[in-house]
Amino acid sequence: MALKTEHMVLNMGPQHPSTHGVLRLELELEGELIKSVKPHIGYLHRCFEKHAEAMQYNQVIPYTDRMDYLAAMYNNFGYVIAVEKLLGIEVPERVQYIRVIMGELQRIASHLVALGTYGLDIGAFTPFLYLFRDREKILTLFEMTCGARLLYNYMWVGGLSHDIHPDFQRMTKEFINYFKPTIVELDNLLSYNKIFIERTANIGILPVDTAINYGVTGPMLRGSGIKFDLRKDDPYSIYHRFDFDIPVGKGLYGTVGDCWDRYYVRVREMEQSLKIIEQAIDNIPDGDVQSAIPKRIKPPKGTVYSRVENPRGELGYFIISDGNTNPFRVKVRAPSFVNLEVMGELCKGHLVADVIAILGSVDIVLGEVDR
Amino acid sequence: MYQYFYNLLGNEIAATLITAAVPLVNVLLVALIGVYLERKVSAHMQDRLGPMRTGWHGVFQTIADFIKMLQKEDAVSTEIDKKLYNLAPVLVFTGTFAAYAAIPFSSQLIGSEAEVGIFYVVAISSLVVAGILMAGWSSNNKYSLLGAMRSAAQIVSYEIPTAIVILSMVMLTGTLSLDKFSQMQTAYFWNWNIFGGADFGLVKFLLIPFMIVGFIIVFISTLAEVNRTPFDIPEAESELVAGYFTEYCGMKWAMFMLSEYGNMFAVSAIVTILFFGGYQSPVGYVGDLLGADWMIPLEQGFWFIAKGWFFIFVQMWLRWTLPRLRVDQLMSLCWKYLIPYAFVNLIIIGFISLI
């Protein structure tokens, strides 16, 4: 007589050490083998888009901080670019340079969290603390610039909230010199670790066509081998002036588009960000960072879609203006949200432990997924 | 050991009590110092300071934690299997503690000079598996169950390579007694089994490479048996929250913790006895120089504990350096690599010992 068997449903999250926030995954298991994964979201929904309709244009900026709280600078960046496009104002050179430097520092800081927590997910505790130590130095730079360490409200429509500190350039250069060897250290400690490669190579392979069909962007898409980066392909601000490469996944230890590739793309992107900062840091022109800030933001009727390359992918702001001081509608295309959708596809046929590895490599921020 | 204390104190009851108390005190001390050391070792490896506030460099941190554990409310779910749930931590701790009975801390400090010491230790530490399975099942928590299943599979699998290597050592030395193991590797460190044993000759040099292989196999598999990184899959906190003891808190949780550290020392002791001379000093005894015989057992105790702590340190070192393997990789490491190599090693050592 055959025994009646059924699949076990395991509820992972919203309180779980490695769902990176309040994500809930409904796993259907056969033993430890995944049969299906269903992500449930919405535990951190704060009605950003509805709130934005009740705010004046500049009042929306602090709310954008709270979406992707690990890359708050970049969220500011994307939003102010969109509003500036709507208003049709030119921003001073100095502001442009500082924005790019801040944006790239933020990218490094965000990737450091992503890589560190990824190591933690795989079970390596030490790289996590090393990377957070380095991130601390970036946060110090932000703190001396605008006083905040996580949620900056730094980039304003037409300018910046504060000019940079007199020591900023020197300390940034010190950071670059300090940080370059630590990337090598990270590679030795984690990236090329045999166990780490065993755990991540050939796991959660994202084929190119699936990636494109799901609209996946950022390091995930580049991990699958597509050279697509908005800083190069649809340049905004002054990114076209800088020389940098776009690292893509090559399947060094497994198949193109596996977890290791996504991880490795982020490591190499940090180097490219350093390269951009190095080119920009000595060329910041003089000027007033607040000279172009409009007294009253009242854009003409119309719509705008503006997109930037956030550390997680394409961050797009779609703003409808009805000619008032408040936006009529602000819609955000959040990269984490779009990237998370592909989870179910990636996890098929893997083990429970791989779900964590895959989720970590997607690098979601729940604040942005739920908004 | 009983005889030593009896001669020392001249009182049967006191001698018996002390004989029983020594391993217990040792387990508690190992846990107490082990937890503190783990924090400090990890902290210094990670550019941190670790506990600094309770006493000098936080030395009383573990004691403070222990008091906190005692005070904690014993919060249990209503859906648990009460009997098994309460029994499990006791059983796990018993398994660990019982193993100490046969471990010779020095030539005088042996709970039981059993002739089948090594066999007894291997057998009694299997009791832990039952405790872990009970904990996982009775918690009525899917994470606990997964953790317990993983743990059972892991510990049972990794006992095989350990047992095979132990078998090869038994074959070589012709004894199952842990005390005799230690006695054979007497005097200086080149007489240790890792360096081919005490007999000087061709056999000694032929044995060295295979002894090293045997040591590596035993060390890896004991690491897996005590669920330490890179084999901490049963309690993989990023996947299973805390594995089989997810639902435990307070003192019951502390029992698991205690037995984890107790186990770490126990397996380090086994490795030490098998390959690194047990309680024998690597460089001779001060007691011999001074002609004070009573000093020798104490010195032996020191060397034994020092060697044990060295291996605990190596375990911590590995834990804070390496990521974690996956279940299937762990199993394939055991069944595809360690067990075949252990068998080959066994056969070769058998041939060499025939010479």
Number of Cβ within 10 Å of residue B204's Cβ equals 17
The phi, psi pair for A333, rounded to 5°, reads: -95, 100
- A147 neighbors A199 (Cβ within 8 angstroms): no
Contacts of B81 (CB under 8 A, 6+ apart): B137, B138, B140
Chain B residues with CB under 8 Å of A352 CB are 146, 239-240
To the nearest whole Å, the CA of B190 is away from the closest chain A CA by 34
Residue B237 has pLDDT above 70, yes or no: no
pLDDT tens-place string over residues B253-273: 888 888 888 888 888 888 888
Under an 8 A CB cutoff, do B323 and A119 touch? yes
- A100 neighbors A239 (Cβ within 8 angstroms): yes
ipTM: 0.77
- CB of B324 within 8 Å of a chain A CB? The answer is yes
- CB of A8 within 8 Å of a chain B CB? The answer is yes
CA distance A63 to A49: 9
The phi, psi pair for B217, rounded to 5°, reads: -60, -45
- A160 neighbors A154 (Cβ within 8 angstroms): yes
The per-residue pLDDT for A1 is 63
Residue B175 has pLDDT above 70, yes or no: yes
- CB of A125 within 8 Å of a chain B CB? The answer is yes
Under an 8 A CB cutoff, do B326 and A121 touch? no
Under an 8 A CB cutoff, do B327 and A120 touch? no
- CB of A16 within 8 Å of a chain B CB? The answer is yes
To the nearest whole Å, the CA of A63 is away from the closest chain B CA by 31
The per-residue pLDDT for B198 is 67
What percentage of chain B exceeds 70 in pLDDT? 94
CA distance A352 to B12: 56
The per-residue pLDDT for B273 is 85
Tens digit of pLDDT at every position of chain A (371 positions): 677 777 888 888 787 777 777 888 888 888 778 888 888 888 888 888 888 888 888 888 888 888 888 888 888 888 998 888 888 888 888 888 888 898 899 999 999 998 888 888 888 888 888 898 889 999 999 999 888 888 888 888 888 888 888 888 888 889 999 998 999 888 888 888 888 888 888 888 888 888 889 889 888 888 888 888 888 888 888 888 888 888 888 888 888 888 888 889 999 999 899 989 988 888 888 888 888 788 888 888 888 898 888 888 888 899 998 888 888 888 888 888 888 888 888 888 888 888 888 888 888 888 888 88
Q: Is residue B238 very low, low, confident or very high in pLDDT (cuts 50, 70, 90)?
A: low
Number of Cβ within 10 Å of residue A137's Cβ equals 19
Under an 8 A CB cutoff, do B323 and A32 touch? no
To the nearest whole Å, the CA of A202 is away from the closest chain B CA by 13
The total number of residues written for chain B in this structure: 355
Picking from A43, A45, A343, A371, the residue whose alpha carbon sits closest to that of residue A216 is: A343
- CB of B325 within 8 Å of a chain A CB? The answer is yes
- B196 neighbors B208 (Cβ within 8 angstroms): yes
Least confident of B29-33, B314-318, B343-347: B29-33
Under an 8 A CB cutoff, do B326 and A351 touch? yes
What is the average pLDDT across B221-232? 80
Chain B residues with CB under 8 Å of A132 CB are none
What is the DSSP annotation of B226-255? TT-TTS-GGG-HHHHTTGGGTT--HHHHHH
Least confident of B47-61, B183-197, B274-288: B183-197
CA distance A364 to A369: 7
Give the helix ranges, DSSP H, for B174-201: 178-184
Give the nearest partner residue to B146 out of A18, A352, A356, using CB atoms. Answer: A352
Residue pairs between chains A and B whose CB atoms are closer than 8 Å: 78
Run of H or E including A18:
none
CA distance A259 to A205: 7
Residue B285 has pLDDT above 70, yes or no: yes
- B133 neighbors B156 (Cβ within 8 angstroms): no
The per-residue pLDDT for A124 is 83
How would you list the strands of the sheet with A33-40, edge to edge? A8-12, A24-30, A33-40
The per-residue pLDDT for A351 is 83
> Helix axis angle, B250-275 relative to B142-173, nearest 10°?
20
**Residue type, position A204, single letter:** G
- CB of B260 within 8 Å of a chain A CB? The answer is no
Give the nearest partner residue to A129 out of B47, B233, B325, using CB atoms. Answer: B47
The per-residue pLDDT for A156 is 87
CA distance B280 to B274: 12
Residue in chain B lying closest to A189 (CA)? B321
Chain A residues with CB under 8 Å of B236 CB are 123, 353
Q: Which of residues 35-64 of B touch A (CB under 8 A)?
A: 42, 45-48
The per-residue pLDDT for B93 is 85
The phi, psi pair for A183, rounded to 5°, reads: -65, -40
- CB of A26 within 8 Å of a chain B CB? The answer is no
The per-residue pLDDT for B2 is 66
CA distance B251 to B245: 12
- CB of A192 within 8 Å of a chain B CB? The answer is no
The per-residue pLDDT for B269 is 87
Give the nearest partner residue to A18 out of B238, B321, B325, using CB atoms. Answer: B238
The per-residue pLDDT for A236 is 84
Which one of A115, A189, A195, A259 would you mutate to disrupt binding with B, by most B Cβ within 10 Å of its Cβ? A195
| Mean pLDDT taken over chain B | 81
